[in-house]
Amino acid sequence: MTTQHKTCRNQHAHAVSLAALLTLCATTTLALADDSARRLSTQGASLSLNSHQPDSETAAPPADSGEETTDLPTFPGPAKPYGTAGTEWILFGSGVAYDFDSNTDLNLTLGYSRFLAQDVEWMLELAAWYHSQQGQDALSLNPAMEFRWHFYNNAKTSAFLNVGIGILGATDNVPSGGSGFNFTPRAGIGITHQVAPDGTRLIAGLRWHHISNARINGEIRNPSRDAPHLYLQLAIPF
């Protein structure tokens, strides 16, 4: 074989090797490009999904279950414990006194009270009376002042002693045979109990009910009346 023929064979072999190398490079490049394209496609889909997901902190409110919720009313409690100095009250009341001798006195009352010291209460009261009595029945107005000492007080319930005095002006003589102007000293005992969250209290008491004119018109015109007086009051803080 000649030298020229060998040279041609070597050049042909080199060309085949070069073509095979180029083919391999091209195949590898295409594979890498295809893999990169797939990765980019996957990342793009992931970003697209994440961009459409709602933020957990700003997620939509939960679906309405269809059940209505009702807020229960709340009531303020008493600002201070009962019996605290400086607390004030409005009182509405009614009572009856019977002297076991055909004389019955009925009243309606409106009062104001203030605790001057711990458990020491001062009260002003205006009473309107109907006197069913022997002789002529009468109507009267009776302003009075009273002090109450709450010797037992656990904030919810208290017990007190009371003493006071008032004046009474009537449309006729009370008692019959007496005068239309009288004095009304009083003394007794009572209890209070809180009946509402705002501190409103029910008061029940029994006291000595006395009507007389202190002999201002002489001994003969002073037929005084004494009777037990049972009463109820509603005390409202303000």
CATH code for the domain of 145: 2.40.160.20
- 25 and 104 share one domain: no
Asked whether residue 63 is assigned to any structural domain, the reply reads no
Asked whether residue 73 is assigned to any structural domain, the reply reads no
- Give the Å distances, CA to CA, from 147 to 60, 66, 72, 132, 222: 64, 59, 40, 28, 27
Output the six-digit token pair for 94: 């009614």
Output the six-digit token pair for 82: 């009962």
Amino acid at 153: N
Which tens digit of pLDDT belongs to each residue from 30-86? 555 566 556 655 555 454 445 445 454 455 555 555 566 666 655 556 778 999 999
User: Rounded distance, CA 125 to CA 158, Å?
Assistant: 20
- 190 and 95 share one domain: yes
Q: Higher model confidence: residue 161 or residue 76?
A: 161
Which helix (H) or strand (E) segment holds residue 8: the answer is helix 3-52
- 98 and 20 share one domain: no
Positive or negative torsion for Cα 10, 14, 17, 23: negative
Which helix (H) or strand (E) segment holds residue 186: the answer is strand 186-194
Count of the separate structural domains present in the chain: 2
Output the six-digit token pair for 136: 């002529």
Which helix (H) or strand (E) segment holds residue 18: the answer is helix 3-52
**The residue to which tokens 């459409």 are assigned:** 52
Asked whether residue 53 is assigned to any structural domain, the reply reads no
- 114 and 170 share one domain: yes
- 122 and 230 share one domain: yes
State mean pLDDT over 17-37: 57
Output the six-digit token pair for 225: 């009346």
- Specify the pLDDT at position 181: 95
What is the extent of the structural domain holding 174?
88-237
Asked whether residue 107 is assigned to any structural domain, the reply reads yes
Output the six-digit token pair for 195: 């009946």
Read off the pTM: 0.67
Which tens digit of pLDDT belongs to each residue from 180-228? 999 999 999 999 999 999 999 999 999 999 999 988 888 888 888 999 9
Asked whether residue 146 is assigned to any structural domain, the reply reads yes
- 19 and 134 share one domain: no
- The residues, any chain, with a CB within 8 Å of residue 221's CB and separated by 6 or more, are 177, 178, 179, 213
- 25 and 105 share one domain: no
